[in-house]
Amino acid sequence: MKNVLVTGGAGGIGTAICVAFAQAGCNVIVHCNNNKDGAKNLAKILGDSYNITTLAVAADISNRNAVNGMYDIIDMTMGSVDILVNNAGIAEQKLFTDITQNEWESMIGTNLTGVFNCTQEALKRYMLKKHEGVILNISSMWGQVGASCEVHYSASKAGVIGLTKALAKEVGLSGVRVNCICPGVVMTDMMKSFDDDTINELKEESPLNTLGTPKDIANAALFLCSDKAKFITGQILGVNGGFVI
């Protein structure tokens, strides 16, 4: 039974990913930053529902010491991480000229440095020693093509794509696969600030004329982390309804 760590596991997409892996029989480690109650509740529900071992951990992934402390807890309770899903992230809409230094550093710190911190530690502690493992990064379609008024977000997510491709080349011979999903517009809490007209406009821009759900991303994540995808690494999968082709 494999152990899966999902960063941002208590969020909309993160929760769906945790459920998908639990249903597949994996032990699930639910990471959060501030939503500790949500992570604990989700871990308990998954453990009770699917008869798996679960753990809730909290850490600011932009802080390496906090990440190391998180992995120390995982070492003591779960033993190792076989699959890492770097899902945690933040977003913000703002004119480029209005972005402050702190906002830039916060965006890069969580969305890109967080991926670096969690991935490097998982590789050093477990995957390189065992000569096996899977890393899945969650980027965004805006990391592929860029979004107006989301320059810092787009830059951070583009960095995740570059990290994925380069790392896949580096650790392939060590038996570790690294892939990336770029979600399109997905109906999560992040969409609550958009009015109905804007949501309908986004639907119309998609060839499928619909928006995604967290389960759409979770299904793709489960596949890329499974043995069915054992010949897939360094790939960027757009799950966006055709919004970006």
Active site residues: 153
Taking the C-alpha atoms of residue 236 and residue 238, their distance in angstroms, rounded to an integer, is: 6
For 59, list phi and psi in degrees, rounded to 5. -165, 145
The residue assigned the tokens 């639907």 is 203
The string of DSSP codes covering the chain is --EEEETTTTSHHHHHHHHHHHHTT-EEEEEESS-HHHHHHHHHHHHHHHT--EEEEE--TTSHHHHHHHHHHHHHHT---SEEEE---------GGG--HHHHHHHHIIIIIHHHHHHHHHIIIIIHHHT-EEEEEE--HHHHH--TT-HHHHHHHHHHHHHHHHHHHHHGGGTEEEEEEEE-SB-SGGGTTS-HHHHHHHHHTSTTSS-B-HHHHHHHHHHHTSGGGTT--S-EEEESTTS--
The distance of Cα 146 from the centroid of its chain, to the nearest Å, equals 19
Spatial distance between the Cα atoms of 192 and 221, rounded to a whole number of angstroms: 24
